[in-house]
Amino acid sequence: MAGVRAKFGTVALLGIVGPHLWRTLRPRNGTAQTARGLTSFLAGIVLLLASAAANAQNDPLAAWNNGPAKQTIISFVKSVTDASGSKFVEPKDRIATFDQDGTLWVEHPIYTQAMFALDRVHVLAPTHPNWTHQSPFSAILSDNREAIARFNEADWEKIVAATHSGMSTEAFLGEVRNWLLTARHPQFQRPYTTLVYEPMLQLLRYLQSNGFKTYIVTGGGQEFTRTFSDDVYGIPPEQVVGSSILTKYQDKNGKPELMREPEPFFVDDGPGKAVGINLFIGKRPLAAFGNSSGDREMLEWTQAGGGQRLEMLVMHDDVAREYAYGPAQGLPDTKVGTFPASLYDEAQKNRWTVISMKNDWNRIFSFAAPPQTSQTPK
């Protein structure tokens, strides 16, 4: 990358996937998924009350199976918070950075923000009558998935420009909040903000209660994520680092507003994550968590700070409870949140911890039932 201001497409900017994405989309199965979701939900309520809540009281990482990943976290935190130890780190330098898509919440079959963009085309259509016969909007409006699958970057740029700019930041935040209230994930048929990983929420709280300042460092939109980060993760807007588009200060009827322009400003992905961490935080993370090649440089940058630090990668290897994709370790390939073999190799070489969702997490979502073989601490 020639620098953070290199010419990236608007598509890359917002973490929205390339033209081949839709070919990999699973078919919707709304009814079956709704039924499964409801059953899980009810079962979850009962079991949560009976056992999981009690677990959580005793074990702040109750959704993690005992194993190397969990032990690595606990050892690290104990070590850097032990004021009498040689590896003690002052609270002000306890910075932990988390990727969002695929690390804190579900990113398949398509990034949440891409779904927002597509849905928003439908919402805006009545005020754009020409869209019905104008590509790429016509394909979206007629739900022509084959055509959508063939969208190129220029198409996606038009979609993002039409759905993410041309309004004030306040208006945009309002649109995102409204959408999140009603939108449902096509597979789980639940609000996107409930599709957050319970083990990662526990990890956030565990770090926060140990004096860490937790940040989201996402390739997705900074403003988009800020609308729910505090409610969902306990991470306030000022601790969300993300991609952004150009905004312009202007006067509107005697009142200033920040107008969102159809042009990328900062791409917080890949090497941009290291740049963004330095730009927005000005401190090196002590711990960093990701799940895909877009997080590689964030983990490298963290580790290069020296001393005891923690780098972890979530691997999606649980097709039964969530999704399975890599292509590392023989998992199915994907264009969304790719975990390539080269990243796995780098993790091995650098002793980064790879978290197996299947083996390391006894629960994926807070609404899901805890496993029958509960990891009750002795």
Q: Which residue has the tokens 């597509």?
A: 118
Kindly list the distances between the CA atom of residue 10 and the CA atoms of 233, 264, 307, 364, in Å, as whole numbers in the listed order. Answer: 27, 6, 38, 32
Instruction: Name the residue nearer to a copy of itself (CB basis): 24 or 169.
Output: 169
Q: How far is the CB of 237 from a copy of itself (least distance, A)?
A: 3
- Residue (291 or 302) nearer to a copy of itself, CB: 302
Considering only 19, 258, 327, 359, the residue that binds a copy of itself (CB under 8 A) is 258
Q: Is 2 in the site for a copy of itself (CB under 8 A)?
A: yes
- Would you say the C-alpha torsion 99, 102, 103, 105 has a positive or negative sign? positive
Query: Is residue 363 within the footprint of a copy of itself (CB under 8 A)?
Result: no
Question: Which is nearest to 314 in space by CA: 195, 166, 197, 214?
Answer: 197
CA 192-197-202 angle, 5° bins: 130
Asked if 35 is part of the footprint of a copy of itself (rule: CB under 8 A), the reply reads: no
The residues, ordered by sequence, that sit 6+ positions from 89 with a Cβ below 8 Å of its Cβ are: 80, 81, 286, 307, 308
Return the number of the residue (170 or 333) whose C-beta is nearest a copy of itself. 170
> Binding of a copy of itself at residue 236 (CB under 8 A)?
yes
**71 versus 250: smaller Cβ distance to a copy of itself:** 250
Who contacts 320 (Cβ-Cβ below 8 Å, separation ≥6)? 358
Query: Cis before residue 327, ω within 30 degrees of 0?
Result: yes
- Cα 120 from Cα 300, distance rounded (Å): 37
User: Residue 39 or residue 250: which is nearer to a copy of itself going by CB?
Assistant: 250
- Residue 290 in the binding site for a copy of itself (CB under 8 A): no
Under the binding rule (CB under 8 A), the answer on residue 280 touching a copy of itself is yes
Select the residue interacting with a copy of itself from 282, 320, 372, 373 (CB under 8 A).
282
Please give the residues from 204 up to 233 whose contact with a copy of itself meets the rule CB under 8 A. Answer: 213, 222-223, 226, 230
Q: Count of alpha carbons within 13 Å of 284, Cβ hemisphere only?
A: 16
Name the residues that contact a copy of itself, by CB under 8 A: 1-5, 92, 169, 213, 222-223, 226, 230, 236-238, 240, 244, 246-249, 255-256, 258, 261, 263, 265, 271-272, 274-275, 278-283, 297, 300-301, 304
